[in-house]
Amino acid sequence: MERLRKLRIFNIIGTGRASAPESLTLPPSAMATAQEVELSEDSVSQENAIVWSTHLQQDEAPPPPYSESANQLFSTYFEEKVPIPEDSNGTGFSFRKLWAFTGPGFLMSIAYLDPGNIESDLQSGAKAEFKLLWVLLGSTIIGLLLQRLAARLGVVTGMHLAEMCNRQYRTVPRIILWLMVELAIIGSDMQEVIGCAIAFSLLSAGRIPLWGGVLITIIDTFVFLFLDKYGLRKLEAFFGFLITIMAITFGYEYVMVRPDQGKLLKGMFVPYCEGCGPVQLQQAVGIVGAVIMPHNIYLHSALVKSREIDRSSKEKVREANKYYFIESAIALFISFLINVFVVAVFAEAFFGRRNSEVNEICNQTGSLHLNLFPQNNETLQVDIFKGGLVLGCFFGPAALYIWAVGILAAGQSSTMTGTYSGQFVMEGFLNLRWSRFARVLLTRSIAITPTLLVAIFQDIQHLTGMNDFLNVLQSMQLPFALIPIMTFTSLPSIMSEFANGIVWKIGGGVVILVVCAINMYFVVVYVSALNSVWLYVLAAFLSLAYLGFVGYLGWMCLIALGVSCVEISGRGCCGLMGQTDTYLLNDMDGNVPVERPHNLSVRPLSWKQSPGEAIRGQPVGGCFLQVTCLKSPWAPGLSHTTPRPVSGHPELSVCD
């Protein structure tokens, strides 16, 4: 162990009087304050260290020490870590390792099979036949690529997306972002409640009213809540069992209907919608909002922390990224097939059918819900509830009950993943560590209250119609997951060599623009249907606020993609935290609450750099990193002896 040395490290922040060391020359616009801190180097090597730098408020006390025993009261999902076996044959691919990494991707894929997605699928088939399958395929592929970014963030940094937002964004944007993500989670929770209530009603032949099904979901949520006490792998196996139920039930409907395979393949791989109008266009837009769910990106970045990954080794991190991507691809391929089953069933059996035709057939089978299918020549409008009834009328009671079992499995499986999403988001954004019981009690109460009121005082059509609105809500929240994940995974100071390349940056930017365009389309469609001046004014105000916040996050993302920060009022750059936290790549996961560092600390960096190597946001050549606010929130200067600027890269310095 090296002898103790006193290090003088200057904490550069974006405001205050300039008092920097002579070895570091700051531009006139960078107002800085130097704080001398004496640090002990007994637990860290000078050749391999990194400084986390944040502003210490004058009257702010340091946080209390972390207590592992206290944290165990609140730990979820990570109470155990799955060990990764070593590859003894050295072939570069191991099915044993793939099996060890299998789990998080399938939990993530459940969001692609929730009741909102099922309703979007059946409406797509009933309204556009097979012609929008290519939209479903494209959305699933885009979702896979976004989930890849989420998994890489969690693997490389050991922190999930909510924790990263907590570290990087200022207080007000961080709170707004948290509220938007919570809104998306509550919207998804409402879809799960609706799906379960409809499933209970169908399975009981109407004996359980819709409001009764809503109340039952309160009980079963707490039952499923404690399944992880039996072990992480058993919990993941249970979710796999629910996915298997969905595959069997919806696959049964697919085999029974026997759709035209030629039309199916054409609709899947030919990106064209012949004869489509505004109805089909709106449905295509709805598919994107139903498939790509914002809270799922936050969830996946946290789930990958459940494996034992040696982050001190680049090879192990790279290996984990590879296996997680393979597992996610397999899981989303299965979810895509299940979605195709649903689309194909309703495309083949019910596309173009009239209400009068359905009414006649249901009358012959003695259906008790003939009032849902009036005697007119209008095109059949289906939802989760009417879809099950129509299947029962055309293909017998077995088809109805099997459909209801599939919907119930979709709703119940989404319940647990939604709970985990909410807990990860709340703990990450707010450092507020609630028990699972309290978390579910709050979110499920918020979700159940409006759903229960609609179930009691309105009919089934209003209840199922909420799914369409909730899909729109999910789409509106997408930028609040896409922009942060693109921002952080593009930063070399966070991701090191795993940061996004130019192709990923361009592709991600295009996806964000497309999603924002889709959201504006939804706003125009819904606002144009309003007939009140006050509603027009309210919609305009909310739209401006929404676009303003998306613009702020987009500005931060542009900085991460390499655009220089604009100086404002001579106070340096404005952006995320004004100074950067640079993260070490090991010792970041576990159950330790994510606290903002209140003072400087030195920790070992896992990956050594060669002497003289200049990497943005990393210690170079054994130097200590000094975070400054020069040209962007991520523009570091390196101060140790006499730093030398790197030719062509003024934002970097290197120590000789």
Q: What is the DSSP string of 569-601?
A: TTS-B-SSSSS-----SSS--SS------SS-E
Q: Residue with structure tokens 């984990």?
A: 320
38 DSSP β-pair partners: 8
Maximum separation of any 2 CA atoms in the chain, in Å: 92
Show the domains of the chain with their CATH numbers.
1-62+569-638 (no CATH), 95-459 (1.10.4160.10)
Compute the distance between CA of residue 600 and CA of residue 9 in angstroms, rounded to an integer.
Answer: 9
- Cβ atoms of residues 465 and 119 within 8 Å: no
- What's the pLDDT score for residue 486? 92
Q: Quick one: which H or E segment has residue 644? A: strand 643-646
Q: How far apart are CA 401 and CA 203, in angstroms?
A: 6
- For residues 577 and 633, give the distance between their C-alpha atoms in angstroms, rounded to a whole number: 7
The two three-digit tokens of residue 542, written as one number = 């909310």
Whole-number pLDDT of residue 297: 94
Prediction pTM value: 0.75
H-helix segments, 129-170: 133-157, 161-168
pLDDT (0 to 100) of residue 465: 66
Total number of residues shown for the chain: 656
Which amino acid, 176?
I
pLDDT at 575: 42
What pLDDT sits at residue 342?
94
Please give the pLDDT value at position 43: 35
Amino acid sitting at position 25: T
Task: Give the number of other CB atoms < 10 A from CB of residue 430.
Answer: 14
Burial of residue 278, with CB atoms counted within 10 A of its CB: 0-12 exposed, 13-18 middle, 19 or more buried: exposed
Give the dihedral sign, CA 559/547/168/480: negative
Q: Residues of the chain whose pLDDT is less than 70?
A: 1-79, 88-91, 221, 225, 228, 435-436, 439-440, 443-444, 447, 457-465, 467-468, 562-656
